[in-house]
Chains A and B, each alone.
Chain A
Amino acid sequence: AQRVTQPEKLLSVFKGAPVELKCNYSYSGSPELFWYVQYSRQRLQLLLRHISRESIKGFTADLNKGETSFHLKKPFAQEEDSAMYYCALRRGNTPLVFGKGTRLSVIA
Chain B
Amino acid sequence: GAVVSQHPSWVICKSGTSVKIECRSLDFQATTMFWYRQFPKQSLMLMATSNEGSKATYEQGVEKDKFLINHASLTLSTLTVTSAHPEDSSFYICSAHDAGTDAREQFFGPGTRLTVL
Contacts and interface: CB of A to CB of B under 8 A. Distances in A.
A28 to B, nearest CB: 19
A99 B46 CA distance: 12
Interface residues of A, number: 17
B116 to A, nearest CB: 23
A86 B43 contact: yes
A11 B6 CA distance: 31
Interface stretch (A41-49, A53-61, A65-73, A74-82): A41-49
B103 interface: yes
Contacts of B67: none
Given A86-B44, A98-B43, A100-B42, A43 B49 contact: no
B43 A46 contact: no
Given A99-B43, A100-B43, A43 B104 contact: no
A7 B45 CA distance: 17
B46 A43 contact: no
Contact of B44 (A42, A90, A93, A98): A98
B57 to A, nearest CB: 9
A95 B42 contact: no
B34 A95 contact: yes
Contacts of B95: 95-96
Given A32-B104, A86-B43, A95 B110 contact: no
Nearest to A100: B43
A97 interface: yes
A43 B103 contact: no
A10 to B, nearest CB: 10
Given A42-B110, A93-B32, A93-B97, 4 more contacts: A43-B108, A46-B105, A49-B105, A93-B103
Interface of A: 32, 42-46, 49, 86, 90, 93, 95-101
